[in-house]
Amino acid sequence: MCGIVGIVGATPVADRLLDGLKRLEYRGYDSAGIATAVDGRIERRRASGKLIHLAEVLQGDPLPGSTGIAHTRWATHGGPTTNNAHPHATGEVALVHNGIIENFKPLRDELTARGRTLESETDTEVVAHLVSEKVEAGMAPADAVREVLPRLHGAFALAILFRQHPDLLVGARLGSPLVVGYGDGETYLGSDALALAALTQRIAYLEEGDWVVITREGAQIFDRENNPVERPVTISGVTGELVSKGNHRHYMLKEIYEQPIVVAQTLRSYLQRMEERVTLPIPDFDLSAIRRVTIVACGTSFYAGMVAKYWFEQFARVPVDLDVASEFRYRAPVMEEGGLMIVISQSGETADTLAALRHAKSEGQKIAAVVNVPTSTMAREADLLLPTHAGPEIGVASTKAFTCQLAVLAALAANLARAKGRLTPADEKSIVRHLAEAPAALNGALAYDESIEAMAHSVAAARDVLYLGRGTDYPLALEGALKLKEISYIHAEGYAAGEMKHGPIALIDDAVPVIVIAPSGPLFDKTVSNMQEVQARGGRVILISDYDGVQAAGENCLATITMPKVHPLIAPLVYAVPVQLLAYHVAVAKGTDVDQPRNLAKSVTVE
Ligand code: F6R
């Protein structure tokens, strides 16, 4: 959730640490800070709010020193104040942390009982004091950290700076990612390869329980039993340039517009166009023995999984369990032999989803991971990596990752169906043809951007908005509501259209816009009946359908959005575009921070 960078450098590091934080701001932007070791003391600069505030502080009060640590925070314990900003420091050590120290209260009580004064409300500060106590007692940095780590429960990635040792940093990882970067006469720590992209491409991924001492000469890595270990150095594909917004006003809009290209890019790995066959990146992975599928994910990725449940059941006739990851582990799920767990995650680091993956693995399930970051923890721990090729998604609201996930999941459902003997060659050809039409259809959907922008004001004034859909349009209704809530701060709910009459219809009046997602097709008439029940009670409907649908049912609507007419298989990809654009334009009309909405972070690495 938070982002970490550390440098043991040959030249001053403050500017480079700040640059690293810019790449990590997607992990949180509640506050930020940097500490360096300078002339036998630790110096810190911290600021609440976005990184720009820390940059201003540093401009007024520059920070010398060629070894330092930096942090961008998504607050868990303690508000987003300067005082709670990392690094947390004593006279001897400064420390940055990503994760949650779950037993911080007893540790805090223990420290205060020994007469130590803690200044912040965070869980993190106890670690700084525990390490400091050891150092003050004369221990070397590595020994001090080694003694403290077993006392910490929860999840952490740590980078620790020592006043008396300006030539080294100690890092540790358990439950939160941390990488080591190797430069020329310099060594780095970072939450991910992106953080270090401007410094080096030579990256080693620490494993669970690893801790590391870095100096300018390199890194000494130890496992959780304190044995020295080697972790392979890989060349990261992430380049040094910061991903740009191009001509777009926001990353989110740019990413919405990238969808035709990145979906095409993704499908290339899963479709053999000439042979009209679906395929997998690991062609010999045997799906024929799979008897049950469990899909687990969070947020938008969960809604992609919800769409996929329809496909797996329809094509492969395999039963599918679907769970939000934060619930999965705690409800004693039954996982039988022959089960495949599919985790879906843009970042590949979401703590709840990762915990579900590990739990299922320990129960003997095969794991497939649909992830966008191929070096992420989930990608590395899965048996079957199914990458989406969406490219870096910077806007906090997920857009292009969602449609790429859908593309992968549709292909996976077809692969499973074929492996189970449930797909005729003719059906397979038809699936390939329809999926191959998706990029052009997405382009067609983007053509309605201006008309969606024009109607955004009618939603921007609302306090509550409802989204309705049936079948695979139901998860899209949920996704539309999530997009609107998170970036425009308007309360929105998604419902299965047929469920309205069982309660939510009581909310309908002329102040609540109701967005109905209803492509023409087998469920159209049923959805339109539910829409008319809304209209009969004074509800103002915005209908998203195709030309036929709008002609048939658009008459008494507040507004209509006409999508290209597409096969039901690719409708969820295509109809994602208008719900994304509507949320985007409403947020712009309201003047919110579209790319960095309040209280959120892109990568949620705490449970
Ligand atoms: C919503 C959004 C979140 C993420 C969720 C899962 O726009 O971005 O709901 O979808 O936090 O993140 P990943 O996919 O990285 O596991």
Q: What percent of the chain has pLDDT over 90?
A: 83
CA-based nearest residue to 449, from 541, 583, 549: 583
Mutation test of ligand 1: which of 251, 306, 346 has the most ligand atoms closer than 8 Å to its C-beta? 346
Residue 173 Cα to ligand 1 midpoint, Å, equals 23
Its domain, for residue 576, covers 446-592
Residue 210 Cα to ligand 1 midpoint, Å, equals 27
How does DSSP assign 90-113, residue by residue? -SSEEEEEEEEETTHHHHHHHHHH
Strand pairing category for 559-563 and 540-546: parallel
Q: Is residue 606 part of a domain?
A: no
Q: How many CB atoms lie within 10 A of CB 166?
A: 20
**Structure-block tokens of residue 70:** 């930096």
Query: How far, in Å, CA of 369 to CA of 348, rounded?
Result: 8
CATH number at residue 588: 3.40.50.10490
Residue 244 Cα to ligand 1 midpoint, Å, equals 21
Using the atom order of ligand 1, give the atom closest to the CA of residue 298.
Answer: 6
Residue 416 Cα to ligand 1 midpoint, Å, equals 26
| Residues 461 and 420 grouped into a single domain | no
CA-based nearest residue to 320, from 356, 290, 345, 299: 290
Residue 404 Cα to ligand 1 midpoint, Å, equals 13
Q: Is residue 604 part of a domain?
A: no
| Residues 75 and 219 grouped into a single domain | yes
Mutation test of ligand 1: which of 298, 303, 408, 487 has the most ligand atoms closer than 8 Å to its C-beta? 298
Mutation test of ligand 1: which of 1, 26, 251, 301 has the most ligand atoms closer than 8 Å to its C-beta? 301
| Residues 423 and 459 grouped into a single domain | no
Buried b (16+ CB within 10 A) or exposed e, 305-330: bbbbbbbbeebbebebbbbbbbebbe
Q: How many CB atoms lie within 10 A of CB 249?
A: 12
**Structure-block tokens of residue 606:** 């705490």
Which of 170, 202, 235 is the last residue in one of the domains? 235
| Residues 402 and 461 grouped into a single domain | no
The answer to whether residues 91 and 163 touch, using CB atoms and an 8 Å cutoff, is yes
Q: What is the pLDDT of residue 243?
A: 64
Mean pLDDT of 64-79: 91
Using the atom order of ligand 1, give the atom closest to the CA of residue 397.
Answer: 7
| Residues 230 and 255 grouped into a single domain | no
Active site residues: 2, 602
| Residues 262 and 332 grouped into a single domain | yes
Q: Is residue 603 part of a domain?
A: no
Q: How many CB atoms lie within 10 A of CB 225?
A: 7
How many independent structural domains does the chain possess?
A: 3
pLDDT, one tens digit per residue, over 309-342 is 999 999 999 999 999 999 998 888 899 899 999 9
| Residues 218 and 255 grouped into a single domain | no
Query: How far, in Å, CA of 217 to CA of 40, rounded?
Result: 21
Query: How far, in Å, CA of 528 to CA of 536, rounded?
Result: 12
| Residues 159 and 254 grouped into a single domain | no
Rounded to 5 degrees, φ, ψ at 245 are -85, 0
How much is the pTM? 0.83
239 pLDDT above the threshold of 70: no
Query: How far, in Å, CA of 260 to CA of 192, rounded?
Result: 28
Using the atom order of ligand 1, give the atom closest to the CA of residue 347.
Answer: 15
Give the angle 53-246-376 at the CA atoms, nearest 5°: 70
Q: What is the DSSP letter of 346?
A: S
Which of 417, 436, 455 is the last residue in one of the domains? 436
Using the atom order of ligand 1, give the atom closest to the CA of residue 399.
Answer: 7
| Residues 169 and 272 grouped into a single domain | no
pLDDT, one tens digit per residue, over 121-165 is 999 999 999 999 999 999 999 999 999 999 999 989 999 999 999
Strand pairing category for 154-162 and 93-101: antiparallel
Residue 601 Cα to ligand 1 midpoint, Å, equals 9
Residue 545 Cα to ligand 1 midpoint, Å, equals 26
| Residues 480 and 362 grouped into a single domain | no
Residue having the nearest C-alpha atom to atom 9 of ligand 1: 299
Q: What is the pLDDT of residue 595?
A: 87
Q: What is the pLDDT of residue 240?
A: 54
pLDDT, one tens digit per residue, over 240-286 is 555 667 788 999 999 999 999 999 999 999 999 889 999 998 888 89
Using the atom order of ligand 1, give the atom closest to the CA of residue 300.
Answer: 10
Q: Is residue 240 part of a domain?
A: no
Residue having the nearest C-alpha atom to atom 3 of ligand 1: 299
Least confident window among 9-23, 324-338, 538-552, 558-572: 324-338
CATH number at residue 109: 3.60.20.10
Q: Is residue 258 part of a domain?
A: yes
Q: Is residue 568 part of a domain?
A: yes
Which of 376, 404, 436 is the last residue in one of the domains? 436
Q: Is residue 241 part of a domain?
A: no
Give the angle 46-50-56 at the CA atoms, nearest 5°: 55
Residue having the nearest C-alpha atom to atom 4 of ligand 1: 299
14 pLDDT above the threshold of 90: yes
Residue 254 Cα to ligand 1 midpoint, Å, equals 18
Mutation test of ligand 1: which of 303, 402, 584, 604 has the most ligand atoms closer than 8 Å to its C-beta? 604
Query: How far, in Å, CA of 245 to CA of 154, rounded?
Result: 37
pLDDT, one tens digit per residue, over 98-122 is 988 999 999 999 999 999 999 999 9
pLDDT, one tens digit per residue, over 44-67 is 999 999 899 999 999 999 999 999
Residue having the nearest C-alpha atom to atom 7 of ligand 1: 397
Residue having the nearest C-alpha atom to atom 16 of ligand 1: 345
Mean pLDDT of 203-223: 97
Distances (CA, A) of 587 to 83, 479, 513, 573: 31, 15, 16, 22
Residue 65 Cα to ligand 1 midpoint, Å, equals 37
Strand pairing category for 320-324 and 292-297: parallel
| Residues 93 and 140 grouped into a single domain | yes
| Residues 395 and 266 grouped into a single domain | yes
Using the atom order of ligand 1, give the atom closest to the CA of residue 297.
Answer: 16
Using the atom order of ligand 1, give the atom closest to the CA of residue 353.
Answer: 16
Using the atom order of ligand 1, give the atom closest to the CA of residue 401.
Answer: 14
Pocket of ligand 1 (CB under 6 A): 298-301, 345-347, 350, 353, 397-398, 482, 486, 604
Residue 401 Cα to ligand 1 midpoint, Å, equals 9
Q: Is residue 464 part of a domain?
A: yes
